[in-house]
């Protein structure tokens, strides 16, 4: 999760000036910032690209199983993309904006699991399931699934790190004043037309 405190020293004088000069509009500007960063992370999940570059592709077995199940979800995270939330809390100099997978505890755990690396070890039941899956793949002449299952059974599954949230943190300090200022300007323009 990204936590962004407006009274943090790295934010800079421009955001502090906006907060002081436009106290009523500033909170709405922070909400726009939350929406912008939630959108950027969601796009990164779909494309497998972050500011740091591309993240490792999904495992061949994962992709083959999705195809068998008829799932059209592309990219990393699947339905986890819908668990991205932003929240603006506090008042005045204490306004904080948070972005992350905060829809539920389950979503938070799933996002952590998605992003961290690890060696997958299979229980005897899981191995039996994989062998059954291999037999079905052979019967169905699904060579893609068969190859993927064979590889996992032979070498195991080493899950690479796929960080989607942390790479966006450095961009906050650079982009926040521009995004918040744009929203404040928009609010003032609309108010001037009335």
Is the Cβ–Cβ distance between 48 and 54 less than 8 Å?
yes
CA 49 to CA 51: how far, in whole Å? Answer: 7
Whole-model pTM: value is 0.76
Determine the straight-line distance between the first and last CA of the chain, rounded to whole angstroms: 39
Q: Report residue 45 as tokens.
A: 């999940």
Mean pLDDT of 91-96: 78
Per-residue model confidence as pLDDT tens digits over 22-70: 989 999 999 999 999 999 989 888 888 888 888 888 888 888 888 888 8
pLDDT of residue 9: 60
Domain extent listing, the chain: 2-56+74-116+162-193
**Residue showing tokens 């994989």:** 130
Residues in contact with 186: Cβ distance below 8 Å, sequence separation at least 6, in sequence order: none
């Amino acid at each position: 999760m990204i936590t962004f405190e407006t009274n943090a020293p790295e934010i800079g004088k421009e955001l502090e000036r906006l907060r002081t000069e436009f106290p009523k509009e500033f909170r709405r500007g922070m909400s726009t910032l939350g929406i912008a960063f939630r959108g950027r992370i969601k796009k990164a999940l779909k494309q497998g690209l972050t500011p740091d570059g591309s993240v490792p592709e999904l495992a061949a077995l994962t992709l083959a199983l999705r195809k068998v199940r008829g799932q059209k979800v592309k990219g990393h995270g699947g339905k986890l993309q819908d668990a991205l939330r932003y929240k603006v809390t506090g008042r005045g100099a204490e306004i904080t904006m948070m972005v992350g997978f905060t829809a539920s505890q389950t979503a938070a755990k799933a996002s952590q699991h998605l992003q961290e690396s690890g060696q997958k070890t299979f229980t005897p039941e899981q191995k039996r399931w994989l062998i059954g899956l291999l037999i079905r793949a052979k019967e169905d002449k699904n060579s893609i699934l068969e190859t993927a299952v064979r590889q996992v059974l032979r070498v195991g599954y080493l899950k690479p790190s796929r960080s989607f949230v942390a790479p966006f943190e450095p961009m906050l300090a650079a982009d926040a004043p521009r995004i918040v200022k744009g929203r404040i300007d928009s609010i003032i323009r609309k108010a001037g037309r009335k």
